[in-house]
Chain A
Amino acid sequence: MMASSYNAKDEDGHITVSGPGGGTLRSKKPENTAFKQQRLPAWQPILTAGTVLPAFFIIGLIFIPIGIGLYVTSNNIKEFEIDYTGVDMSSPCFNCSQNFSWNSTRPCTCTIPFYLDQPYENNVFMYYGLSNFYQNHRRYVKSRDDSQLNGDLESLMKPSKECEPYAYHENKPIAPCGAIANSMFNGEPVSCCAHQTHSSFHLYLICLFTSLADTLELFYNDPNGTKIQIPMTATGIAWWTDKHVKFRNPTDNANLTAVFQGTTKPVNWRRPVYELDTDPQNNGFINEDFIVWMRTAALPTFRKLYRIIPKKNSMVPTLLRGNYTLEVVYNYPVRSFEGRKRMILSTISWMGGKNPFLGIAYITVGSVCFFLGVVLLIIHHKYGNRNNSADIAN
């Protein structure tokens, strides 16, 4: 009797046992897939002299010609540079550099003659260069308000605190605020040159007290003695996106003076921002000299595009060989921080301005690769066969 009852339960037991048992019928055996068994098809390069050797030769063979090409290209670029800081006693600008300070009211001009020994074809780019000017200083780089420069009216009246301490002056918001704008190197006083004459000296008189910035003018001294001013364009020197997207005046069409009402000019400036140019497309925040300055340079020695001397026609070089005069309105003091100011005339190629470095670098790296390739070849021949079967035991 007992047994029968157990048998009955036996059945129960089986059902309950095989219930979960059915689930576990699926064995825990891992799947035999290439991924799970870590057998994915693979390329297993082994770095030995023999296998690496071709790479070195190929790199060498590719890099050396590129380097030569780059070097030649760079050498074909014509570049001329004049330091007009006036450190030397002999320098025409020595006087200006000595007695100039930020708040001086007396204009100082100097004239620097120079000689171009070869003609400059195509468009010639005129740069001003600064040395020892740390535009990349951390606090300097930050000291700007992009919203304000983008024409945001709210920011115009309430500059970002990043601009501090150049955000407010005499309780008025500064436009454009910040240290970058405040220290602007260049700004052409075109607005006061409505009646532009051929004489730049005339121009100085008019614009004398209006701008802190240096002004550069270039004259070609004709062999027959006349001084011909080289025409230069001040537009197209900034990035297109900067001029059209990043920088915007608070309103497009209205009177800029009214728009900037209630703001004040940066402390070091002599004119408000809405008087940078007469051309409404180049005035206010979208003045290209301003935009170029606002793009902070990467290194303490830098150049910035100042003007473009456009090519007139294909027959005549843009700048002829001969004597030139650079006339500088020396406004910007750099002696206090051992800075240097330069004027650079340069043509450009597809790879930018003159810089032989890349060409040399390519040639050097290529040569080194080639040399190492030869070393590896020797190694390979001497020791490469050591790795035979007998060695594997080690």
Chain B
Amino acid sequence: DTKNPRLDRGGENPNRHYANNKIKTTKYTVLSFLPKNLFEQFHRFANVYFVFIALLNFVPVVNAFQPELALAPVVFILSVTAIKDLWEDYRRHRSDKEINHMDCLVYSRVERRYVEKYWKEVRVGDFIRLRCNEILPADVLLLSSSDPDRLCHIETATLDGETNLKQRQVVRSFFDLDCDFDPLKYNSVIECEKPNNDLNRFRGYIIHRSGRRDALYKENLLLRGCTIRNTEEAVGIVIYAGHETKAMLNNNGPRYKRSKLERQMNVDVFWCVIILLVMCLFAAVGHGLWMFQYGDKRPVFDVLSPEGTDLSPIMSAIYLFLTMIIVFQVLIPISLFVSIEIVKICQVYFIHQDMDLYDEETDSHLQCRALNITEDLGQMQYIFSDKTGTLTENKMVFRRCTVAGVEYSHDANARRLAMYQEMDSEEEECTSHGGTLPRRDSVTSHQSAPVVLRSQSTKSHRRTGSRAEAKRASILSKHTAFSSPMEKDITPDPQLLDKVNECSSQMDFMRFHSQPMSQLPSDLSDIIDFFIALTICNTVVVSSPNQPRQKVRMRFELKSPVKTIEDFIKRFTPSRLTSGSNSSSSSSLITNRSSNKGCSSMLSSPSAESTLTKLDEERPPRGLDHAFSPVPPCYDGKAWDKEEGELRYEAESPDEAALVYAARAYKCSLVGRLPDQVTVELPHLGKLSFELLHTLGFDSTRKRMSVVVRHPLTDQITVYTKGADSVIMDLIKPPNTGKRQKKIVYRTQNYLNLYAADGLRTLCIAKKILSKDEYACWLQRHLEAETAIQGREELLFESALRLETNLQLLGATGIEDRLQDGVPETIASLRKAGLQIWVLTGDKQETAVNIAYACKLLDPEEEILTLNADSQEACALLLEESLHYIQAKFLCSSTDQAAKAFHTNFAPFEIYPSSSPSSSSSHTVPFMVHRLGLVIDGRTLAYALDKSLEDKFLAVARSCRSVLCCRSTPLQKSMVVKLVRNKLKVMTLAIGDGANDVSMIQVADVGVGISGQEGMQAVMASDFALPRFRYLQKLLLVHGHWCYSRLANMILYFFYKNAMFVALIFWYQFYCGFSGSAMIDQWYLIFFNLMFSAFPQLITGTLDKDVSAETLQQLPHLYVNGQNSEEYKPYMFWMNMIDAFYQSLVCFFIPYFAYADSDVDLFTWGTPITTLALFTILLHLGIETKTWTWMNWLSITFSIALFFTVALCYNASCPTCYSPSNPYWTMQRLLQDPLFYLLCAITPVAALLPRYFYRACQGTLFPSPVQVGRQLDKLPTEIRRNILSLSRVKVGSPLSPKPPFLSLAKPSPKGCNKKDQRSFPSSNTPPAKKGPVSQADEEKGQRSQVQPSDSVRSHSDLYTLVATEIDTLPYTKDAPTTLGGATASFNQSL
């Protein structure tokens, strides 16, 4: 099962049997199009049905229409679809052709050089020469690179959307080639796994002639579609080509989902079939009886069969049954499916075009990736959201850290961030030019020289997220900023900075005096280790700004580290200076930036031409520092700045970048990263190169990453580990080893809790020193693992586990992830819309809870049910208790007055009343959403998701207003979604941004990806991709509502229309001896649906707006309309059917009586009926149309005009052609007949009277919320605003705390007193969660300390969606003021 691309040694290409590189994504060829397309179309049952009916027409005894004519609709529908498919296929063909004809350099044996060839001519085993910025034509194994490090950089944006550069290495055995790679000398065999679609896996080995085997990794493979960057030239051998490349294998087509509405519709289509059969049966029996009454005396009008034989009544009835199926076929709407598709495409188009869903910053708008579930957006009941990157910006800002048990609060940094926030809320643009910032010297007075810098000439960008963003940024500035200054310009804590300086100078001193580094005081060495860990324990790639995408290349001799900084400068600077001329625009930019770069203390003063407020006097006045000032006077500092510039860090995750920037603020900056070496610049010590022995990458199971380096100063093999606190803390060396370590662990844990309570993301940093023997021992097994082909991942995992034990804790960091704009408002509004919001996050509980408060997911006023259990039994017990508690509290005491008031207050929250089928199906008890929040952690969740407990868990969870699952794995996320979706039978939406959300997104009914933050995996898996979380509000409340209501109404209308039209013929059967005769000309009959009545409903289905977008957003409860499927309930189908039958009765019998006993002929009588039916159907649509634009008028006018035009032409064209109706001049005569007009006036009125009257009464007597919303729309804006603000208070009242509710905060009823119920009136210290005993904490909500302003606000105007709230909402705003207080109280409690 391996493939061996080999060299062509003359003769035939040994690799000829592998797929070539020509791609063909088209489905059809010219020849295969027709059969294949038809075959595909016949997979749809409806098409088969219609073809069956059309074919039935060819049977003479049962035929109802001219067979050729009966084929027309089917052929029409099939050909429309076929043309659509053909067009799509043609576009694919064109793009294929374009791609296939791209050029690349392929080595030619004959010419002994690289020749230009088309992509499609590339074969497996070909040698390809790649140049910078070229796109890879196939999956290529890297054999040689011009890069001295044997590296090749690629950008994988087209594959996964990640724009950061990735390094790929030359295959190890070719590493040592000193000269250029010569394909002729290549003489090895490559064996590798079969083509698969896993982008992150490649296994294989290369067998050299010597018999030596070398393993191949994914690091050696360059994938098709990636772009070569920063590498002048690379040579590789094609491993997979064409359709076998990983990119192509990953390229699966659009997803097909069936929406809830469609499922409901299919049920009703089924009912239509039943109705059809009943009608046909009725007619057949009727015909049999009609025949039977004549007995043997055959009347003249009962024509014999063509053969002249007499048919028995029974046989006639059977034949007639089939005939009736043909005649009544319209009842199953052939055009329904096509119309729905058209309408959905239009809906998608309009959603795409919505300006409100366009994000200026990233130049991206909403993408609908699944075209056929737009209406599901209007029916969501549960939202499952990721936190990081979805609710938050994923803009990681270093906030605080603790090193060796000492906390550095970084107050100045907090203030700085607060300031950014203000600025953001004001106007980002204005800062972009001048960069003037209010100086806040006063508040930062304790700092020697506060740095307040906002020195970027462009608008602040998020870190290198989406391609669009990067592109845009490059357009704007030519120098992409990969992190906003907010994330980069970290103000160091003065205390810590002092320590760092002290430490490094001591180390430097020791180095000079060749003292062992171990003599360093342990707290100081911890500090320096801490920062080294921050700097190197990551995968950050360094690039310099004036050479975008150019890796900084500084290679030091590993064996001979730079001894002094002067030495280094002498060796490296002059040559760089010569090339340091930049365009003026960029130079000013760089100089501006340079002032804050990490190593500035060693450099000269900032450039003179800087136009910014520059307060960079960051140099503590210390002799040492000056003494080590590395820049000789002859060097111009400015040139230095330009050259060195500000190194940019491209990180795979924003946390990493934040930490690297944080370390740089302490002048411990990462200056270069090579596969085997990391260069760090330290104060006083200069550039140090760490030999990188191993990198054990981050994964979600280990939740940590480690690097193994050789420390250049101590020459020890050191492991630096960085990871989630929960895992790291468990890996810390048993504390009995040292009192100090114990104390550090204890303190750090406390600080970690504090950080989490502040909503910070916490990471622990630890290190471990390995002895040579230990390392050798580990290395051996690790290498075995690396070279294993089978189970390599598992082995590597185990190997990592072996290494990451007995760590020594260095410290912890707190990184802040700010909430995205408008998240609290969106959540509040979605919740008012009756959506249950669950947040599933991998963060730790305290962090998650705090973010939840900040984004208004949890309300300070509501109780929190916390479930933390250590075992299955404990979890069961906990759930049981919670259930009892909820019941006792909210159900048992219903006689209580207060509870009564409570219930009435909560009436709007009875989202799924018992009458609704969705809830009654699985649970008989109507359930209510209570003022409860549920917090559950990953471990407990794992227990709760067990089969035995899931029902209980759901019972608890569904009664809670919000659910927060912390520490959940991707799998758990998807399990939760699946559980809710399957058990509660509700519509679920999952929203997330990262790869860890993919499974959840795929499981949910609708998956939404947030684009442009963490790669594209989530977007690739999603049905809709949003640039920002807050757009979800408009997407659901407005577009979802519209799409649902439009489509629901259109489907109902379709059923009505066809039933009404078919019933006309059915009534006629009573007057034609049930002979299957139709008074409606077969042309009208067949084209009525397809042409005459098709356009208005499409227009209405696409454009109708029941309520304006503004009102829908202001009154989110209108969304409940879709959740409860109020536009299209099962009974509505039957009501529509009854109405249809009534209307058809009117349309039939008014002409019947008007022409009774007259000399009217069949089709002169039938044509007015057709006309009347058309008028009635169109006017019916008119009643149901809520918004009349010129398009509606036009379409209705067009429909009528089309009908008359066609009728007149048809009736004038040929006197003999249209057998049997032969309607020559019928319409023309009718138009001269006053009776026709009289009929046209009265019949539609009489037919639509009940519906019109009903609608009017409904509008007045029991208006639905939607109708009220519409009335609101009509009001002048002034009055409307007043009413809305009024109603907001009113609507909000059940939510806002009221006296009856407050009583609930009293000790709970009996059933719950077992519980450890604690209240935290003033402290937000999280409950200790490490106890063996399970506990449920009902945390009373007075969290006034954390968010005093928020809780106050929530009392006064909870639902005011005014701008002022936006900038004050995110909790970070409060941070500067509360931080100190919180710390203080915390310290007291210690």
Whether B918 sits at the interface, judged by CB under 8 Å, is: no
Nearest Cβ on chain A to B516's Cβ, whole angstroms: 36
Whether B561 sits at the interface, judged by CB under 8 Å, is: no
Complex CA–CA separation, A42 to B1190 (angstroms): 7
Given contacts A13-B550, A376-B1257, 5 further A-B contacts (CB under 8 A): A2-B553, A16-B133, A42-B1189, A49-B1257, A134-B1072
Whether B306 sits at the interface, judged by CB under 8 Å, is: yes
Whether A236 sits at the interface, judged by CB under 8 Å, is: no
Contact B363 A29 (CB under 8 A): yes
Whether A313 sits at the interface, judged by CB under 8 Å, is: no
Nearest Cβ on chain A to B866's Cβ, whole angstroms: 34
Whether B686 sits at the interface, judged by CB under 8 Å, is: no
**Contact count A vs B, C-beta below 8 Å:** 351
Complex CA–CA separation, A301 to B364 (angstroms): 70
Contact A50 B1260 (CB under 8 A): yes
For B354, the chain A residues whose CB sits under 8 A away are 30, 37-38
Q: Mark interface residues in B1179-1204 (1 if CB within 8 Å of A CB, else 0).
A: 00001001111110000000000000
Whether A122 sits at the interface, judged by CB under 8 Å, is: no
Which of A84-92, A223-231, A253-261, A354-362 makes up part of the contact surface? A354-362
Complex CA–CA separation, A251 to B350 (angstroms): 64
Across the interface, name the chain B residue whose C-beta is closest to A356: B1153
Q: For window 1-46 of chain A, which residues contact chain B by CB distance below 8 Å?
A: 1-4, 6-7, 9-10, 12-14, 16-18, 21, 24-25, 27-32, 36-38, 40-46
Are A295 and B474 also in contact (CB < 8 A) when A46-B1274, A368-B1249, A393-B1291 are?
no
Nearest Cβ on chain A to B1022's Cβ, whole angstroms: 18
Contact B1225 A298 (CB under 8 A): no
Nearest Cβ on chain A to B614's Cβ, whole angstroms: 27
Contact A2 B575 (CB under 8 A): yes
For A209, the chain B residues whose CB sits under 8 A away are none
For B1270, the chain A residues whose CB sits under 8 A away are 44, 46
Contact A25 B578 (CB under 8 A): no
Whether B195 sits at the interface, judged by CB under 8 Å, is: no
Complex CA–CA separation, A365 to B1162 (angstroms): 27
Are A44 and B1274 also in contact (CB < 8 A) when A134-B1072, A365-B1249 are?
yes
Q: For window 1261-1289 of chain B, which residues contact chain A by CB distance below 8 Å?
A: 1261, 1263, 1265, 1267-1268, 1270-1274, 1279, 1282-1283, 1286-1287
Contact B1159 A303 (CB under 8 A): yes
Q: Which of A144, A352, A376 contacts B1220 (CB 8 A)?
A: A144
Whether B353 sits at the interface, judged by CB under 8 Å, is: yes
Contact B1216 A246 (CB under 8 A): yes
Whether B1328 sits at the interface, judged by CB under 8 Å, is: no
List of 6 A-B pairs having minimum Cβ-Cβ separation, nearest first: A164-B306, A165-B308, A298-B1165, A48-B1259, A337-B299, A52-B1256
Nearest Cβ on chain B to A204's Cβ, whole angstroms: 23
Across the interface, name the chain A residue whose C-beta is closest to B304: A165
Contact A47 B300 (CB under 8 A): no
Nearest Cβ on chain A to B1370's Cβ, whole angstroms: 27
Complex CA–CA separation, A357 to B1235 (angstroms): 12
User: Which residue numbers of B lie inside 8 Å of A, CB to CB?
Assistant: 64, 132-133, 232, 294, 297, 299-308, 323, 350, 352-355, 358, 360, 363-365, 468, 471-472, 474-475, 478, 546-550, 553, 575-576, 578-579, 643, 1071-1073, 1075-1077, 1079, 1103, 1105, 1109, 1115, 1150, 1152-1166, 1183, 1186-1191, 1215-1217, 1219-1220, 1222, 1224-1225, 1229, 1233-1235, 1238-1239, 1241-1242, 1245-1246, 1249, 1252-1253, 1255-1261, 1263, 1265, 1267-1268, 1270-1274, 1279, 1282-1283, 1286-1287, 1290-1291
Nearest Cβ on chain A to B1081's Cβ, whole angstroms: 11
Contact B1246 A365 (CB under 8 A): yes
Complex CA–CA separation, A48 to B1162 (angstroms): 41
For A49, the chain B residues whose CB sits under 8 A away are 1256-1257, 1259-1261
Contact B1162 A296 (CB under 8 A): yes
For B1233, the chain A residues whose CB sits under 8 A away are 352
Identify which of B1156, B1159, B1189, B1234 gathers the most chain A CB atoms within 10 Å of its CB: B1159
Are A372 and B1253 also in contact (CB < 8 A) when A179-B301, A336-B297, A394-B1268 are?
yes
Q: Which of B300, B350, B1159, B1256 contacts A36 (CB 8 A)?
A: B350
Complex CA–CA separation, A246 to B1211 (angstroms): 12
A-B contact pairs, 22 of them (CB 8 A): A13-B132, A27-B360, A28-B468, A40-B1189, A48-B1256, A48-B1259, A48-B1271, A50-B1260, A139-B303, A144-B1219, A165-B306, A165-B308, A183-B301, A241-B1229, A242-B1224, A302-B1158, A304-B1159, A337-B294, A351-B1234, A353-B1158, A358-B1239, A394-B1265
Q: Which of A10, A135, A350 contacts B547 (CB 8 A)?
A: A10
For B1258, the chain A residues whose CB sits under 8 A away are 47
Nearest Cβ on chain B to A171's Cβ, whole angstroms: 14
Contact A137 B1077 (CB under 8 A): yes
Complex CA–CA separation, A152 to B1224 (angstroms): 17
Contact B1152 A299 (CB under 8 A): yes
Q: Mark interface residues in A106-121 (1 if CB within 8 Å of B CB, else 0).
A: 0000000000000000
Contact A137 B1219 (CB under 8 A): no
Complex CA–CA separation, A50 to B300 (angstroms): 58
Complex CA–CA separation, A388 to B547 (angstroms): 66
Across the interface, name the chain B residue whose C-beta is closest to A335: B297
Whether A322 sits at the interface, judged by CB under 8 Å, is: no
Contact A44 B1188 (CB under 8 A): yes
Which of A193-201, A214-222, A270-278, A377-385 makes up part of the contact surface? A377-385
Q: Mark interface residues in A147-162 (1 if CB within 8 Å of B CB, else 0).
A: 1011010000000111
For A213, the chain B residues whose CB sits under 8 A away are none
Nearest Cβ on chain A to B794's Cβ, whole angstroms: 41
Identify which of A138, A242, A372, A379 gathers the most chain B CB atoms within 10 Å of its CB: A138
Q: Mark interface residues in A321-343 (1 if CB within 8 Å of B CB, else 0).
A: 00000000000000011010000
For B303, the chain A residues whose CB sits under 8 A away are 137, 139-140, 143, 165-166, 179
Q: Which of A4, A27, A300, A394 contacts B579 (CB 8 A)?
A: A4
Contact A63 B1245 (CB under 8 A): yes
Identify which of A137, A142, A365, A383 gathers the most chain B CB atoms within 10 Å of its CB: A137
Contact B474 A21 (CB under 8 A): yes
Whether A70 sits at the interface, judged by CB under 8 Å, is: yes
Contact B232 A25 (CB under 8 A): no
Interface size bucket, A side?
35 or more
Contact B1242 A358 (CB under 8 A): yes
Contact A41 B1219 (CB under 8 A): no
Contact B1159 A7 (CB under 8 A): no
Are A12 and B132 also in contact (CB < 8 A) when A38-B1103, A298-B1155, A355-B1154 are?
yes
Across the interface, name the chain B residue whose C-beta is closest to A147: B1216
Are A146 and B232 also in contact (CB < 8 A) when A44-B1188, A389-B1286, A392-B1283 are?
no
Across the interface, name the chain A residue whose C-beta is closest to B1224: A246
Across the interface, name the chain B residue whose C-beta is closest to A364: B1246
For B299, the chain A residues whose CB sits under 8 A away are 133-134, 336-337, 339
Nearest Cβ on chain A to B1138's Cβ, whole angstroms: 19
Contact B1153 A379 (CB under 8 A): no
Contact A162 B1220 (CB under 8 A): yes
Contact B579 A387 (CB under 8 A): no
Complex CA–CA separation, A27 to B1072 (angstroms): 66
For B1291, the chain A residues whose CB sits under 8 A away are 393
Complex CA–CA separation, A144 to B303 (angstroms): 12
For B1152, the chain A residues whose CB sits under 8 A away are 299
Complex CA–CA separation, A355 to B1257 (angstroms): 35
For A386, the chain B residues whose CB sits under 8 A away are 1260
Contact A29 B358 (CB under 8 A): yes
Complex CA–CA separation, A252 to B815 (angstroms): 103
Nearest Cβ on chain B to A317's Cβ, whole angstroms: 23
Q: Which of B472, B1155, B1259 contacts A47 (CB 8 A)?
A: B1259
For B297, the chain A residues whose CB sits under 8 A away are 336-337
For B1241, the chain A residues whose CB sits under 8 A away are 63, 66
Contact B1158 A357 (CB under 8 A): no
Contact B1160 A297 (CB under 8 A): yes
Contact A146 B1215 (CB under 8 A): yes
Across the interface, name the chain A residue whose C-beta is closest to B229: A13
